[in-house]
Amino acid sequence: MSGHWATKCLAFEQEILFGYRCNCEPTNVKRRMKTLNTEALNQAKQVIKQQFGDLFDLPEDVRNTIANTYYEFCLISTEHNKFSNPQSIALANSFEEGLKKYSSDIAHIKSAAKFMPEIIAEIREIRKKGEQNNYKFLLQVFQDNFKYRIPNALNKSSLRLSLERPFYVGKAKEIQNLWKLV
């Protein structure tokens, strides 16, 4: 496994853990978005094209995680620009709970947007080298970090992650097939 890739994942985890992360459930994207915000979607398309180029060389679930992360990143930006109450706060059971979710979401999304391009570049490089086992492992760790948000995923064995993953799968709230729109 590439040391550079591991360093980026570790930096991502540290930024989350020592930044704003709390053990809150991620924002329920499906519940909060009956229709997509076209402004955020268009911004996400541009950023993804600029940062990653074509995504078709990546597995569909990874494409969707990237699309959802950047859509959320751009959605947060449009919410801030309009000085509206963020939807994660508005839909929570209490203001305090909503604020915790919002802080957790922002920390995760900002860190993901910062580190994803370099991590995907490393994953693509490993695939080019023909290291199929490392490639599959890194794709799964990518999903464990960015989609399922399993804490310290990089420091856990494949067996440990496979045992923990079912507990996080239900918490992963992505818009299905969003990658097809970007």
**Helix (DSSP H) and strand (DSSP E) numbers for the chain:** 8, 0
Q: What are the distances in angstroms from CA 104 to CA 45, 64, 91, 160, 171?
A: 24, 20, 15, 24, 14
Q: What is the mean pLDDT of the chain?
A: 80
Would you say residue 131 lies in a domain? yes
Would you say residue 68 lies in a domain? yes
pTM of the model as a whole: 0.74
Would you say residue 30 lies in a domain? no
Give residue 80's domain range: 3-21+37-181
Q: Which of the two residues, 104 and 110, has the higher pLDDT score?
A: 110
Domain count, the chain: 1
Under 8 Å between Cβ of 143 and 20: no
Would you say residue 45 lies in a domain? yes
The tens digit of pLDDT for each residue in 145-158 reads 999 989 888 888 88
Q: Give residue 40's identity as a one-letter amino acid code.
A: A
Would you say residue 88 lies in a domain? yes
